[in-house]
Structure 1
Amino acid sequence: MTRDYAKKKRPAAKKAAAKPQVPWWVWLFIGSMLGAFIMFLVYLAGVSPSQQALAPRQAAPAPQATAAEPEPVEQEKNDLPKPRFDFYKLLQESEVIVPATEPVETSQSATQEPAVEYLLQVGSFRNAEDADNLRAQLILLNLDARTEDVTIRNGERWHRVVVGPFDNQSRLAKARSTLVSNRYNALVLKRNPEG
């Protein structure tokens, strides 16, 4: 039996498999890193050990030699002078003897400042309930909080939430750091203890 090969469908040409391409930014990154590495190598080639040793000596002025010291006659093979350590002798010459005196105590009555107390105002509210809520939160932080009722301009009544009083700066700083660590802003108030 004869076959008609002309009408036979030919298989479709196989498509070439797509090559995975590297993105452009990868090539840019690799090129810049390679350039930076080459520049680093060029820099290292330009800096020799002899230049590193001479650079500090050229920048600093040489101290004056004393008559008691003999000058070094020989130099090393690479024409570098031997190091001289004159600072030991300079330190002995500039030694200062501090007299042993006892510290002078000042009487507190002569330099006593007027008594001052410090407060930290954490908030001020028109509503007393809001002030009590904040005071309760501060008490849970182990702070000595209280509310003060204040009447200001035109007879308005405000409720301040204050922490304190503190008689020294260290306790004030400790309480303020506790407030800041718990995200409370505080205003430092300075008052006389009498009123």
Structure 2
Amino acid sequence: MTKDYAKKRKTARKSNKRSSRQSQPSRKPMSPILIFVGGVLLTLFAVFLWVLVKKPEIIKEVLPAKEDNQTVKTQDKPQEVKAEEPSSEPTFTYHETLTNKEIKVDGTQAVQTSSNTTYIMQCGAFRKSEDAESLKAEMAFIGFQANVEEKDGWYRVRLGPYSTKRAAESDRHKLQDNNYQDCRIW
């Protein structure tokens, strides 16, 4: 039995085509401290660029020494004194305008939305009148008074008319809470 075992091991070694683990170069993992420091530096650089692009006046406040050196150099040379020009930046008095503004409103006039639009909600259309009457009865148990109208061989179960779409939507949401999902507003 030992000879058979030795033969099997030799054939198994020959058929093994995988490369050994030692031939692959080993990579050392990066230090977590190095990763942290790199992340902090990258974040600081990104913040600096953002400030440089979005808020250049902050950079001028932080680095006033450079401006002082430039003004000293220009003062050494004689220049003509110019009268102050009005600044090109507009001055906004938005807060003052709003606090000093008075608006007079006529309180006697009421706003009326007199629209002739009425809304109908249809919850089903059936070929048989018995099916339409059954849906009408189910809606009556919930608290809605539906109408069954016949047109072109179809029996339609409808609610309404509603004067506003908001009222129709409110009833539709109540029906959806009771598992009547197919109601449409026209």
Unaligned runs of 5+ in 1: 1-34, 65-70, 76-89, 190-195
After TM superposition, list the pairs within 5 Å mapping 1:61-76 onto structure 2.
61-63=55-57
- Structure 1 residue 162 and structure 2 residue 158: aligned? yes
Residue 179 (structure 1) aligns with:
175
Which residue number in structure 2 is paired with residue 134 of structure 1?
135
Partner in structure 2 of residue 102 of structure 1: 105
SS at match of 1:120: strand
Give how far 1:187 is off: 2.4
Higher helix share: 2
- Structure 1 segment 81-92 matched on structure 2, within 5 A: none
Q: CA RMSD in A?
A: 3.9
Aligned equivalent of 1:46: 39
Deviation at 1:161, TM superposition (A): 0.4
Higher relative contact order (CA 8 A, sep 6+): 1
**Quick one: percent identity of the two aligned structures?**
21
- Using the size of structure 1 for normalisation, the TM-score is 0.49
> Could you state the TM-score of these two structures normalised by the residue count of structure 2?
0.51
Q: Deviations over 1:19-76 (max 9, x none)?
A: xxxxxxxxxxxxxxxx9xx89x837633336435424311214359xxxxxx67878x
Change (3 A) 1:168 1:149: same
- What secondary structure does 2:122 align onto? strand
CA distance in 2, matches of 1:138, 1:50: 65
Answer 1 or 2: which has greater strand percent: 1
Structure 1 CA distance for aligned equivalents of residues 125 and 134 of structure 2: 12
Count of aligned residue pairs for this structure pair:
125
Q: Is the 8 A contact 1:121 1:163 kept in 2?
A: yes
